[in-house]
């Protein structure tokens, strides 16, 4: 089944403790992206990657890092999480850069930072 898999689904952590949210897709998609979803603010892009070793900032990149060493994986790293990073996170992928492609989304990771 074609899908984007995120782990974990739920995570509670403490301020300052480094964490990684994994994302993997099995569709050989070139383009991957991370979004956060917050009430009243909708979905905002954190980082995106156009291909292996090609990443760039989205609208809200502060406090996050990403890497794209393999085509299928695009982990999101929070080096020093803070409570304002409590949110619902989605990884997504699409076949290429062209705007005509729609995204396939993962099921989400609900992160709570205390």
Partner 1 sequence: GDSVTQMEGPVTLSEEAFLTINCTYTATGYPSLFWYVQYPGEGLQLLLKATKADDKGSNKGFEATYRKETTSFHLEKGSVQVSDSAVYFCALTPYGNNRLAFGKGNQVVVIP
Q: Please report whether residue 103 would count as binding partner 1 according to CB under 8 A.
A: yes
Which residue in 34, 47, 48, 64 binds partner 1 (CB under 8 A)? Answer: 48
CB atoms within 10 A of CB 10: 9
Binding region for partner 1 (CB under 8 A) out of 16-24, 35-43, 62-70, 71-79: 35-43
Cα 74 from Cα 21, distance rounded (Å): 9
* For partner 1, the closer CB: 14 or 41: 41
Q: Report in angstroms the alpha-carbon separations of 75 from 19, 41, 63, 99, 114.
A: 10, 23, 14, 23, 22
- Site residues for partner 1, 61-100, by CB under 8 A, read 90, 92, 97-100
Q: Which residues contact 72 (CB under 8 A, 6 or more apart)?
A: 24, 25, 26, 28
Catalog residues that contact partner 1 under the rule CB under 8 A.
4, 31, 33, 40-43, 45, 48, 50, 58, 90, 92, 97-100, 102-108
């Amino acid at each position: 089944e074609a899908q984007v898999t995120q782990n974990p689904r739920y995570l509670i952590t403490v301020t300052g403790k480094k964490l990684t949210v994994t994302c993997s897709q099995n569709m050989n998609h070139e383009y991957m992206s991370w979004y956060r979803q917050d009430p009243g603010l909708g979905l905002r892009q954190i980082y995106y990657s156009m291909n292996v070793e090609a990443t760039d900032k989205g609208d809200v990149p502060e406090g996050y890092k990403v890497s794209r060493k393999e085509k299928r994986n695009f982990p999101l790293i929070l080096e020093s999480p803070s409570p304002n990073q409590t949110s619902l996170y989605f990884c997504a992928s699409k076949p290429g850069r062209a705007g005509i492609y729609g995204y396939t989304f993962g099921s989400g990771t609900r992160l709570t930072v205390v």
